[in-house]
Chains A and B, each alone.
Chain A
Amino acid sequence: MNKDYSEVINKIDMVATKIYNDFQNADIPSLDLPTRTKANIKFDDNLSVWKYGKNTTQRTAKSLDGAYMLLRTMYMADFIKEMIKIKKSSTLREMYYISEGWDLAKFHSQNESNLLAEDLEVITGCMREDFKLRPEEDGARVIGNLTIEEVTRNNTKKKIHCQDDVGDAGYSIPYNVEPEKITFKGIDADYILAIETGGMFDRLVENGFDTSNRAILVHIKGQPARSTRRFIKRLSKEKNVPVLVFTDCDPWSYRIFASIAYGAIKTAHISEYLATPSSQYLGVTPSDIQNYDLPTDTLSKEDIHALKSELSDPRFQDSFWKQEIKLQLKLGKKSEQQALAKYGLDYVTDTYLPEKLAEMGLLKK
């Protein structure tokens, strides 16, 4: 289980060397990295996910902001080296607080330090996990006919069955879901159902949907954490199970789906690790609002702006999304998963999901 970090240290030193050599050659120190915006993501045909394109951004000491970025990058790199040496890890938030002692290089917000950690991933081609940095948020919950073997902190392997060995809250996904930490043993299910809200997850658990419909239920807790996406990706790929995403019907939920299926803009450098290109969007769709006559709210100004922005997002360019987004803009309405309760508590498990699954060819009637 002791991972070899020498490659990571090498890559980090390469960053320091680049800067050091710039000084030696009387060049203004700089680092190049891919531009991390919507405009610079391209579909990678080999990996079937969205990756950064050819546009690069230069962080140069010519400007004050650039110089600060370089200084912080150096401090963070040095800090990571140190952690590897003393065999510790820290949360992103801890690193943010540790930066208080970095004098000029200290961060002014955690967002700044998170972004820089991602930058460093992009520059070195390593993953955050290699840097011994972990996120604050806990992973999601899982219930279904699945057996996981996890290496516990006592360094012993423990098998967990995600129905029999867990309570109603389910199995909790750890921040590290790499093979050295967890492996998938047995599974008997037809698909993975990723659910946005806790309310809906609990509804399906209470109604016994995991058993009745042979589903692995994953509560993704809004925008899913990296480890949740990585977990879904590994499970889907290693055990060859399709992934269905079930969210609210609003632009922000579509982005949740996009990050699971295609990769997120912010983490496009590691899309192939995190994204599950075969994922399918189950609902709730704007068409469902019409077909099921669901209770709705009016789209806010921000919602409309987000929808329009999605129309120009390269990840939403297929005909399904274009049609649905345009329909939603026309309706001017949005809806929630739990709006299905309009027809009773069992409606979602008895009627809505079976109908949608049949529509998608996953349930033979």
Chain B
Amino acid sequence: MASVSAHELAKKQKEISVAEFFERNKHILGFGNQTRALITSVKEGVDNGLDACEEANILPDLYVEIKNHEDGECRIIIEDNGPGVIKKQIPHIFGRLLYGSRFHAIRQSRGQQGIGISAVVLYGQLTTGKHAKIISKVEADRPAIVNEIAIDTNKNRAEVISRDTIHWDKPTGTRVEISIMADFKRGKRFVYDYLQSTSIVNPHAQIIYKEPDGTEHVFERTSEVLPRKATEIKPHPYGVELGTLIKMAKHTKARQLNSFLKTEFSSMGDRTTNAAIEKAGLEKNLNPKEMTREQFLALHKAFKKVKIMAPSTDCLSPIGETLIKRSLKHETQEISPEFIITASRPPSVYSGNPFQVEVGLVYGGNLPKEESVKIFRFANRVPLLYQQGGCVITQAISSIDWRRYGLNQPSGKGIPTGPAIFITHVSSTLIPFTSESKEAIADVPEIENEIKLAFRECARKVQQHINKKIRRVKTREKFDLITRILPEIAKKSAHMLDKPVPSLDPIITKIMDVVWIEDLIEYESVKREPIQTTLTENQPEQKEGVITKSQIMVVNYKHTPQKFNLYAIIPQDAVVGTVSPKPSKITDNYIKWNLDTIPPANKIDIVFELAGLSKGDFDENDLYIEDINPTYVIGADKWEGD
């Protein structure tokens, strides 16, 4: 065989067009089949809309509509009330792959690679040959712009086919209409699930979804407060890759290695900077632009050998326990679950990337008892719908022995069976997905551990809840016994013998022989001023506020006087109002009372009020006691310290 010259070979090498790249990689981009394509398209559009609103401090109102044609073509319409997109940017955002503002920023965000919505436009174009229609309005008193966009697949550039202005009622917003080939029949359930899940982790958003047959679903907003804005942080040395390090050095304005490290990275003070440079065997006044590959390698290795403070975690925007609970309560109304319990871990770090885990557990009600528990996975407020088996969340749940908590689980491993839904939300500046389609979180030990800890905490709370329920029933029984039945027995025996009714007091303390704590939570509606949460002025109506009122009764049914401390746990985001009697301490987490001597058969009434919560956010008192034998007390557990 004749040899082939380099010139000949070069002729065959040419740039691969985005279209080709897309075609070859559509499975990893989430367009592997027509069902997946449908969900991915909705997902990218919704993510885009939510991001746009949040960036502009607007409470998101999303409208999603799917029109289905006989031949398998679906028109997907997604509309938001965000700030709109300026004319110049429209072709870039919707018509260019790998274009976006979020790719370089290190902070928590929904999309990360910027492959998003433009991939849907491209997919639509490749499968239907139709152009995408983008309507955008950026100012309330200006008309909206309608664009028809196509992608030049050879140049990875957008082509504006037509542009026009129209009247649009919305003050500002964006509407995207894309025709794609999709399988709605099969994808129907997934779209619904996806939007419902999205609503759970985005309690501040309202989503209206219209199906092809006209059925409309409304996923209501349960929180009027926008999530805390995730701030941008600089890369942390532990998480930076060698290539990135080199690239950063090439672009830095710093002239010396030590100032480069201090200004371009987070958590690098004088001491750590010097230590890293010393470990790498370099000079601190080295010009970063002139460093060799070997020097970078030494520096990169040195990072790992130096103790560097974890990055600041305020770049994360977790949902918060109260909101997760409220959202779940709203979305599971039809199930009428027995209880909903949430747990939130403090932020943590893996390879220099901050992350935080929040979990929730819905139990009982109409949930099927014989099926595997439902697992809802979320990353940065985005539901993960596929590859459940390959996700670290599933792995963490499977490794916990759930049998102690009333769920079935053969051999104490694997996904348990029982009437429960598990929710996990991982937020991070960089979610380590297993693939580009972003459907499963990779097996990172730090993340797995945090998820486990969060679920263990949840499980403990479940246990407490169950114990409390059992105790409550028992307490109720005892109360019935001493207040209703015993007096009757005494009366009847006296009547039969024609004698005076005997005194019950000594027997009551003998039968009860406990300090008994009972509590009740009530909600009182109050009018309050509307909270300004959007830039638009269309929220004139007054919002109803709620005061959560907790009443606690402590009765000493022992035959000796009792004296102890009582703690009531309160949610962190609540504002404490009236408290009586006077507490000895109030913190973010609890109210503490020193209860002075209570004589036998006497009681103390305690009341405290909480504001800043919705009805049902605080639906169960968590009471603890101190300086008394816990076995003497029904209705509260031993205080284990702060």
The chain A residues found within 8 Å of chain B, CB to CB, are: 12-13, 16-17, 19-20, 23-24, 26-29, 61-64, 67-68, 70-71, 74-75, 77-78, 81, 103-105
Contact = CB atoms under 8 A, between A and B. Distances in A.
Nearest to B491: A74
B507 A74 contact: no
Given A67-B486, A104-B484, A74 B493 contact: yes
Contact of A23 (B480, B495, B496, B504): B504
A81 B497 CA distance: 11
Given A13-B497, A28-B507, A104-B484, 16 more contacts: A16-B492, A26-B506, A26-B510, A61-B489, A61-B507, A61-B511, A64-B477, A67-B485, A67-B489, A68-B485, A71-B489, A71-B492, A78-B496, A81-B496, A104-B488, A105-B488
Given A61-B489, A61-B511, A24 B496 contact: no
A62 B496 contact: no
A20 B480 contact: no
A20 B488 contact: no
- Give the size range of B's interface with the partner: 20 to 34
Contact of A28 (B477, B502, B503, B511): B511
B490 interface: yes
Nearest to A81: B496
B499 interface: yes
Please list the 7 inter-chain residue pairs (A to B) with the smallest Cβ-Cβ separation, ordered nearest first: A23-B502, A26-B506, A74-B492, A16-B496, A64-B477, A20-B493, A19-B493
21 contacts: A12-B496, A13-B496, A16-B492, A16-B496, A17-B493, A17-B497, A23-B504, A23-B507, A26-B507, A28-B511, A29-B486, A29-B489, A61-B485, A61-B486, A61-B489, A68-B485, A71-B488, A74-B493, A74-B496, A78-B496, A104-B485
Interface of B: 477-478, 480-481, 484-486, 488-490, 492-497, 499, 502-504, 506-507, 510-511
Contacts of B502: 20, 23-24
Contacts of A77: 496
Contacts of B494: 20
A23 B493 CA distance: 10
Contacts of B506: 26
Nearest to A103: B488
A95 to B, nearest CB: 16
Contacts of A70: 489
B404 to A, nearest CB: 28
A257 to B, nearest CB: 41
Contact of B497 (A20, A29, A68, A103): A20
B492 A78 contact: yes
Contacts of B485: 61, 64, 67-68, 71, 104
A77 B481 CA distance: 20
A87 B290 CA distance: 119
Nearest to A70: B489
Contacts, number: 72
A78 B481 contact: no
Given A17-B497, A20-B502, A28-B511, A64 B489 contact: no
Contacts of B503: 23
B499 A78 contact: no
Contact of B481 (A23, A64, A105): A64
A78 B510 contact: no
Majority secondary structure, B binding face? helix
Nearest to A105: B488
A331 B636 CA distance: 60
Contacts of A27: 507
Query: Residue among A20, A104, A105 with the most chain B CB within 10 A?
Result: A20
A26 to B, nearest CB: 4
A361 B503 CA distance: 68
Nearest to B506: A26
Contacts of A17: 493, 497
B481 A67 contact: yes
Contacts of A64: 477-478, 480-481, 485
A81 B507 CA distance: 28
Nearest to A18: B493
Given A64-B478, A67-B485, A71-B488, A28 B510 contact: yes
Contacts of A71: 485, 488-489, 492
B198 to A, nearest CB: 48
Contacts of A62: 511
A178 to B, nearest CB: 27
Contact of A16 (B484, B486, B493): B493
A333 B499 CA distance: 62
A103 B502 CA distance: 21
Contacts of B480: 64
Contacts of B499: 20
Query: Residue among A17, A70, A71 with the most chain B CB within 10 A?
Result: A71
B497 A16 contact: yes
A61 B497 contact: no
Contacts of B488: 71, 103-105
Contacts of B484: 104
B491 to A, nearest CB: 9
A148 B40 CA distance: 94
A9 B517 CA distance: 44
A74 B510 contact: no
B158 to A, nearest CB: 75
Nearest to A74: B492
Query: Residue among B477, B480, B486, B488 with the most chain A CB within 10 A?
Result: B488
Contacts of B495: 78
A62 B503 CA distance: 17
Contacts of A75: 492
Contact of B490 (A23, A28, A81, A104): A23
A200 B372 CA distance: 57
Query: Residue among A23, A28, A77 with the most chain B CB within 10 A?
Result: A23
A74 B489 contact: yes
Contacts of B481: 61, 63-64, 67
A17 B493 CA distance: 7
A104 B493 CA distance: 15
B471 to A, nearest CB: 14
A99 B13 CA distance: 98
A67 B481 CA distance: 7
Contacts of B511: 28, 61-62
Contacts of A104: 484-485, 488
A63 B510 CA distance: 12
Contacts of A13: 496-497
A104 B507 CA distance: 20
A150 B477 CA distance: 52
A74 to B, nearest CB: 4
A350 to B, nearest CB: 60
Contacts of A61: 481, 485-486, 489, 507, 511
A78 to B, nearest CB: 5
Query: Residue among B478, B480, B496 with the most chain A CB within 10 A?
Result: B496
Contacts of A29: 486, 489, 507
A24 B495 CA distance: 15
Contacts of B490: 20, 23
B69 to A, nearest CB: 59
A302 to B, nearest CB: 26
Contacts of A67: 481, 485-486, 489
B559 to A, nearest CB: 10
A105 B487 CA distance: 12
Contacts of B507: 23, 26-29, 61
Contacts of A28: 507, 510-511
A20 B489 CA distance: 9
A19 B511 CA distance: 15
A24 B511 CA distance: 15
Nearest to A66: B481
Contacts of B510: 26, 28
Contacts of A16: 492-493, 496-497
Query: Residue among B492, B499, B507 with the most chain A CB within 10 A?
Result: B492
Nearest to A64: B477
A28 B513 CA distance: 12
